[in-house]
Amino acid sequence: MRAIADPLLVNDAKPERELTTKALAEALGTFFLALNIGMCSGDLAPFAVGGTLMIMVYAFGHISGGHFNPAVTLAVYLRGKLGDATNAAYYALAQFAGAFAGAFVSNILSDEPGYPAPAADAGALKALLAEAIYTFALCSVVLNVTTTKNQEGNSFFGLAIGATLTCSALAAAGISGGAFNPAVGTGLPLAAAADFSSVWIYWAGPLLGGAAAGAAFKLMGSE
């Protein structure tokens, strides 16, 4: 008979891990996420980007919870599964550092590295709405598949999280640029020395969506 000693919720306080190890996991995962957003373009890019989120969640979720996104970190913090706010700050710093490093490497490897940018004809309001709504979806999926007792020990958490990014990018990349993530939405334009006038959208939209997902989760009363 197999005894299962370790906690099986992907997002739980995990006091047995040091914060620096968790931060390293967050930096590595966000590195590859930003790198592959920079490296991929064309119709299949949403599959590469969502797939990269999936594999990083499966690889490093057992260490840090697998956020790679300050909006997800905000939602998990509001859910009460991250400990205190210091942890959230460390996570966000590690995510920005990882995203910038990944973006930097994509600028070395690729002649035309990509970065998220709203469509010229969409307007800031539509872009903001799209970023908020789809980050709400992403964070709602994360909270429901990695923090609820009655889905403990499932094997689908990474698939669900990665596929949310793929579907959201297929639906809305043509409007908002499809970041749904302040870290990659800042790190990639920064490394490409691109226009920064729309970067606020990747802060306001995703953080709004992440906070709303935390509130909706509480409203629905799962444990």
Footprint on residues 176-215 left by a second copy (CB under 8 A): none
Where is 158: in which H helix or E strand? helix 157-176
Interaction between residue 19 and a second copy (CB under 8 A)? no
Cα pseudo-dihedral 162, 49, 32, 89, rounded to 10: -60
Q: Give the one residue of 80, 86, 156, 218 binding a second copy; rule: CB under 8 A.
A: 156
Q: Give the one residue of 27, 54, 92, 188 binding a second copy; rule: CB under 8 A.
A: 54
Closest approach of a second copy to the CB of residue 150, in Å: 4
Interaction between residue 62 and a second copy (CB under 8 A)? yes
Q: Which two tokens stand for residue 173?
A: 């990349």
Q: Give the one residue of 34, 35, 74, 82 binding a second copy; rule: CB under 8 A.
A: 35
CB of 166 or CB of 186, closer to a second copy:
166
Q: Which two tokens stand for residue 22?
A: 């968790």
Distance CA 74, CA 217 (A): 13
Q: How far is CA 34 from CA 83, 131, 184, in A?
A: 26, 17, 6
Interaction between residue 15 and a second copy (CB under 8 A)? no
Q: Which two tokens stand for residue 43?
A: 């119709």
Closest approach of a second copy to the CB of residue 212, in Å: 11
The count of residues interacting with a second copy (CB under 8 A) is 71
Interaction between residue 89 and a second copy (CB under 8 A)? no
Q: Give the one residue of 124, 163, 190, 204 binding a second copy; rule: CB under 8 A.
A: 163
Judged by CB under 8 A, the stretch of 88-96, 146-154, 186-194, 203-211 that binds a second copy is 146-154
Helix axes 201-220, 70-78, angle to 10 degrees: 30
Interaction between residue 59 and a second copy (CB under 8 A)? yes
Q: Give the one residue of 15, 84, 120, 149 binding a second copy; rule: CB under 8 A.
A: 149
3-state SS record for 48-100? HHHHHHHHHHHHHHHHHCCCCCHHHHHHHHHCCCCCCHHHHHHHHHHHHHHHH
CB of 45 or CB of 92, closer to a second copy:
45
Give 148: exposed, middle or buried? Use CB within 10 Å, 0-12, 13-18, 19+: middle
Interaction between residue 132 and a second copy (CB under 8 A)? no
